[in-house]
Amino acid sequence: MQGLSERQYAVRVGLSRGAIQKAKVAGLLVLHADGSIDAAASDARRAETTDPSKSRAKESVAAPAAAKPKLKPVPEAAVTAVGETLREQGLAAPAAGGGMTFLQAKTANEVLKTQERRIRLQKLKGELVDKARAEALMFRLAREERDAWVNWPARVAALMASELGAALGGETVEAALMQEVLEAHVRAQLDSLAEIRTGVG
């Protein structure tokens, strides 16, 4: 196949396959000999027939210069946003510092609407969670885990001292000393884990 199928071209321009079929019937697409779609030529033809600025220019040829409406320039932020959206989808984006075609803006708009619908659907299905809520939950769990480790030496020091004394043939191991040693090592471990989390963030 020389060019793109209807489905592939529909994905490229962000329209439904039905819309592409209508455009094909209306003669808005350029086809190869095998019936596949010439993407670049079809983009150009669709831009010529759907760009309002071109149709306005044709309609105003006979109108006096004073009657022509003044078009506001497109903000650079909007052009940048369109370019980023198109590039994310692997589509042709406006050149840096260059103009933006109506087709490019329309394609970016369709892509963003599709992404918005997908996110909304994922939220409804429970696949996405609120970021602030997730962060608050992770912070609470981390704090509870740290508190559990900080309190652990006091709970097990006496038992460990007794077991260690028995293992050493009945020697006495002070529980207070055991707790002190455990606390020092646990706090050192917690401090090293905190440094790792900070580095990742």
pLDDT at 51: 56
pLDDT at 89: 72
CB atoms closer than 10 angstroms to residue 62: 7
pLDDT at 62: 46
pLDDT at 4: 92
Q: Specify the length of the chain in residues.
A: 201
Divide the 201 residues of the chain into consecutive groups of 10 and give the mean pLDDT of each group: 89 91 89 91 85 51 51 63 73 63 75 78 71 83 87 88 84 86 88 66 47
pLDDT at 70: 61
pLDDT at 74: 57
Query: Count H helices, E strands: the chain?
Result: 8, 0
pLDDT at 63: 46
Contacts 24+ apart (CB under 8 A), 33-36: 33/2, 34/1, 34/2, 34/3, 36/1, 36/2, 36/3, 36/4, 36/5
Asked if 107 contacts 13 with a C-beta cutoff of 8 angstroms, the reply is yes
The strand pairing partners of 31, in sequence order, are 37
Asked if 178 contacts 168 with a C-beta cutoff of 8 angstroms, the reply is no
pTM above 0.85, yes or no: no
